[in-house]
Amino acid sequence: MALLLFSATSRPRAAPPLVRSATIAITSDGTRVVTINPDSNSITTLDTKRELVVCTTPQTLSIDGARVFVVCRDGSLNEIDLDAMRVRRAVAAGFDPFGVVASGGRVYVSTHDGIAVFDETTLARVTTIATEEFSHGLAIDGGKLYVTHFRSGKLSIIDLASLAVMNVIATGLDSNVSQSVVISGMRAYLPQTRSNSNNPALIFDSTAFPIVTVIDLANGVNLSSERIAIDIADRPSSLPVDIALTSDGRAFVVNAGSDDVSIIDLAQRRAIAHLQVGSSPRGIALSPDERFAYVNNTLSGSVSVIDTRNNTIANTIATTTIPLDSSILNGKILFNTSNQTTLAKDRWIACATCHFDGGTDGRTWFFKDGPRNTPPLFGIGETLPMHWSGDLDELQDVESTIRNIQAGTGLASGASNCEPSCDTAPPNAGRSKDLDDLAAFMRSLRAAPRVIALGDAALRGRALFASSGCASCHVPPLYVDQKKHDVGTGSNPLEHKGTSFDTPSLRGVADSAPYFHDGSAATLIDVVDTHGSATTLTSGDKNDLVAFLRTISFSTTPERRRAVKK
């Protein structure tokens, strides 16, 4: 159905379009729309309806002329010839890259360690710009590169002539899940989630808040008075991850958790409309004439086409058949959505709110058990029991999180089987297809592959890890003993579940600061300064031990190229 799809003939905007990383993008002449399909490992062109397998888990793309650049969780940067629909070349971009923008003869990729800069013609690496941690969404405007930081919510501004970081703007200590940025005039707009983890009396609707942060670029300040609270401007929603602005002052905010788009009048900070779209919408692209906005529903394998004249959905176009096992796909949808009363009240929270893409928000929440730092969920099926107090003995016990944290009615009917504690109550496995599917999805979660070479310090640290007795509890290769120990960290009067904690796995520990169950150690050096026999080591030995800890990763075996189809 060609209905209302393209409008290439209408007048283009005067200003050059903003170049930014997104999960969906349109060529500057408005004739071609390209999506990435994370679970199909592919991209799709909407106009020609062609799909091309590119890499494992594409994250974002950027279009420059007939070339498309795609970065993927497997660490690759890929150049695609859009006319021939083939991968022209692929190079290594770094660990866990997310954003990509191509402009002015260069390609910029946000990786875990900063911004990798490539020559656009040869894809040779030019340099790496060190930034704040967790560089994520990217946009280029007026000779500057804007970089969001996923967990801190800060915005870095890099001068593209000198490749120097000019400014880092804070947006509030609770800003989180900062995936994207758009620039309009002297304002930057960042969809974010406020993680209200300082709240000692959490209820579901005081836990996390969906917002659009507004930054005054002339003065380099966060305009908290202009911040848009989406739950107030529109209605309860969750996980705003992308945004498009029209020149008449409307913001189209994509809420990945509540599976909807809030259309907000920027001057009034009030919603004009909201549109329910597909599952896990992760990006939006506006046609150059602003006539249509395209939303990539990553877990439906479809694009919703919004007619911006009347703020309605004009069309939904299939983009891919997601080849995941049907149970895992269902579990992934449940993990990512807040739009089901079984899972969450008022569309407020999704599992992904705190564990976006299975990772961690880096926050420490006041849960019923006491202060609890959010762990990443990669490899979770291998390191039971779960929770810091070790009282969840099966993945289905997250039924208690659904009911107690998200205020959902529960995926299983009847009791939560977590009273007085999940491991003493009857099992939750086999009670509900959805709960079993959620468990199956969590069991499938893997960290981004990381290639690590052990330097001299790390090699010395590895020997110390063995000789200092660390390995007796953190037993390689999983670095757990599946037992609880009192290591002197549980004296806080807020603790309600004893002073012993389940030995945490150290795989990927470099990426999961802060440390200990209560987040009381900000860095790994803080851990070894207070933890077990490490306290008696010299400072040189402690540094070596930390150098080793930083290399402990999940399996470096590349993820399977295509998920298994059942």
Chain residues in the site for ligand HEC (CB under 6 A): 207, 335, 349, 351, 353-355, 365, 367, 369, 372, 374-375, 377, 380, 386-389, 398, 401-402, 405-406, 438, 442, 465, 468-470, 472-474, 485, 487, 489, 501, 503-504, 506, 509, 512, 515-517, 524, 527-528, 531-534, 545, 549
Binds 374: which of Ca ion, ligand HEC, none (CB < 5-8 Å by kind): ligand HEC
Binds 388: which of Ca ion, ligand HEC, none (CB < 5-8 Å by kind): ligand HEC
**Of the candidate residues 21, 41, 197, 512, the single one contacting Ca ion (CB under 5 A):** 512
Residue 520 carries which side chain, given as an amino acid letter?
S
- Provide the minimum distance between the beta carbon of 468 and ligand HEC in the complex, in angstroms, as a whole number: 4
- Residue placing its CB nearer to ligand HEC in the complex, 131 or 330: 330
Distance, in Å, from the CA atom of 153 to the CA atom of 162, rounded to the nearest integer, reads: 24
Binds 418: which of Ca ion, ligand HEC, none (CB < 5-8 Å by kind): none
Cis peptide upstream of residue 375 (ω within 30 degrees of 0): no
Binding of Ca ion by 502 (CB under 5 A): yes
Distance, in Å, from the CA atom of 218 to the CA atom of 446, rounded to the nearest integer, reads: 42
Residues near 208 by beta carbon (within 8 Å), at least 6 away in sequence: 176, 193, 194, 195, 196, 238, 348, 349, 353, 354
- Residue placing its CB nearer to Ca ion in the complex, 399 or 502: 502
Bridge partners of residue 222, in order along the sequence: 215
- Residue placing its CB nearer to Ca ion in the complex, 272 or 473: 473
- Provide the minimum distance between the beta carbon of 504 and ligand HEC in the complex, in angstroms, as a whole number: 4
Distance, in Å, from the CA atom of 87 to the CA atom of 120, rounded to the nearest integer, reads: 15
Look at residues 265, 261, 231 and name the one whose alpha carbon lies nearest to residue 250. 265
- Residue placing its CB nearer to ligand HEC in the complex, 87 or 521: 521
DSSP calls for 272-294:
EEEEE-SSSEEEEEE-TTSSEEE
Distance, in Å, from the CA atom of 236 to the CA atom of 430, rounded to the nearest integer, reads: 32
- Residue placing its CB nearer to Ca ion in the complex, 307 or 495: 495
- Residue placing its CB nearer to ligand HEC in the complex, 227 or 372: 372
Task: Please compute Rg for the chain using Cα positions.
Answer: 23
Candidates 50-58, 122-130, 321-329, 369-377; binding stretch for Ca ion (CB under 5 A): 369-377
Which tokens go with 394?
């099966």
Bridge partners of residue 154, in order along the sequence: none
- Provide the minimum distance between the beta carbon of 144 and Ca ion in the complex, in angstroms, as a whole number: 33
**Residue 386: strand, helix, or coil:** strand
Site residues (CB under 5 A) for Ca ion, limited to 380-439:
383
Q: How far is CA 500 from CA 349, 497, 517, 534, in A?
A: 29, 8, 10, 19
Q: How far is CA 475 from CA 383, 465, 481, 513, 545, in A?
A: 11, 10, 6, 21, 15
Distance, in Å, from the CA atom of 353 to the CA atom of 360, rounded to the nearest integer, reads: 9
Binds 411: which of ligand HEC, Ca ion, none (CB < 5-8 Å by kind): none
- Provide the minimum distance between the beta carbon of 434 and Ca ion in the complex, in angstroms, as a whole number: 23
- Provide the minimum distance between the beta carbon of 242 and ligand HEC in the complex, in angstroms, as a whole number: 21
- Residue placing its CB nearer to Ca ion in the complex, 53 or 473: 473
- Provide the minimum distance between the beta carbon of 91 and Ca ion in the complex, in angstroms, as a whole number: 32
Binds 348: which of ligand HEC, Ca ion, none (CB < 5-8 Å by kind): none
- Residue placing its CB nearer to ligand HEC in the complex, 402 or 547: 402
Binds 180: which of ligand HEC, Ca ion, none (CB < 5-8 Å by kind): none
- Residue placing its CB nearer to ligand HEC in the complex, 123 or 487: 487
- Residue placing its CB nearer to Ca ion in the complex, 337 or 512: 512
Look at residues 353, 364, 342 and name the one whose alpha carbon lies nearest to residue 494. 364
Binds 468: which of ligand HEC, Ca ion, none (CB < 5-8 Å by kind): ligand HEC
Binds 470: which of ligand HEC, Ca ion, none (CB < 5-8 Å by kind): ligand HEC
Binding of Ca ion by 178 (CB under 5 A): no
First-residue to last-residue Cα distance in the chain: 30
Binds 367: which of ligand HEC, Ca ion, none (CB < 5-8 Å by kind): ligand HEC
- Provide the minimum distance between the beta carbon of 354 and ligand HEC in the complex, in angstroms, as a whole number: 3
**Residue 430: strand, helix, or coil:** coil
- Provide the minimum distance between the beta carbon of 180 and ligand HEC in the complex, in angstroms, as a whole number: 21
Binds 472: which of ligand HEC, Ca ion, none (CB < 5-8 Å by kind): ligand HEC
Distance, in Å, from the CA atom of 304 to the CA atom of 242, rounded to the nearest integer, reads: 14
- Residue placing its CB nearer to Ca ion in the complex, 468 or 503: 503
Binding of Ca ion by 195 (CB under 5 A): no
**Residue 218: strand, helix, or coil:** coil
**Residue 257: strand, helix, or coil:** coil
Which tokens go with 185?
């005039």
- Residue placing its CB nearer to ligand HEC in the complex, 250 or 517: 517
- Provide the minimum distance between the beta carbon of 372 and ligand HEC in the complex, in angstroms, as a whole number: 4
Task: With beta carbons less than 8 A apart as the criterion, state whether 275 and 313 touch.
Answer: yes
Binding of Ca ion by 197 (CB under 5 A): no
Binds 212: which of Ca ion, ligand HEC, none (CB < 5-8 Å by kind): none
Look at residues 295, 300, 390, 392 and name the one whose alpha carbon lies nearest to residue 339. 300
CA dihedral 469→474→479→483, nearest 10 degrees, is 150
Distance, in Å, from the CA atom of 116 to the CA atom of 110, rounded to the nearest integer, reads: 6
- Provide the minimum distance between the beta carbon of 409 and ligand HEC in the complex, in angstroms, as a whole number: 13
Distance, in Å, from the CA atom of 380 to the CA atom of 482, rounded to the nearest integer, reads: 12
- Provide the minimum distance between the beta carbon of 195 and ligand HEC in the complex, in angstroms, as a whole number: 8
- Provide the minimum distance between the beta carbon of 486 and ligand HEC in the complex, in angstroms, as a whole number: 8
- Residue placing its CB nearer to ligand HEC in the complex, 13 or 496: 496
Residues near 414 by beta carbon (within 8 Å), at least 6 away in sequence: 431
Task: With beta carbons less than 8 A apart as the criterion, state whether 26 and 303 touch.
Answer: no
Distance, in Å, from the CA atom of 29 to the CA atom of 41, rounded to the nearest integer, reads: 26
Applying CB under 5 A, which residues contact Ca ion? 373, 383, 502, 512
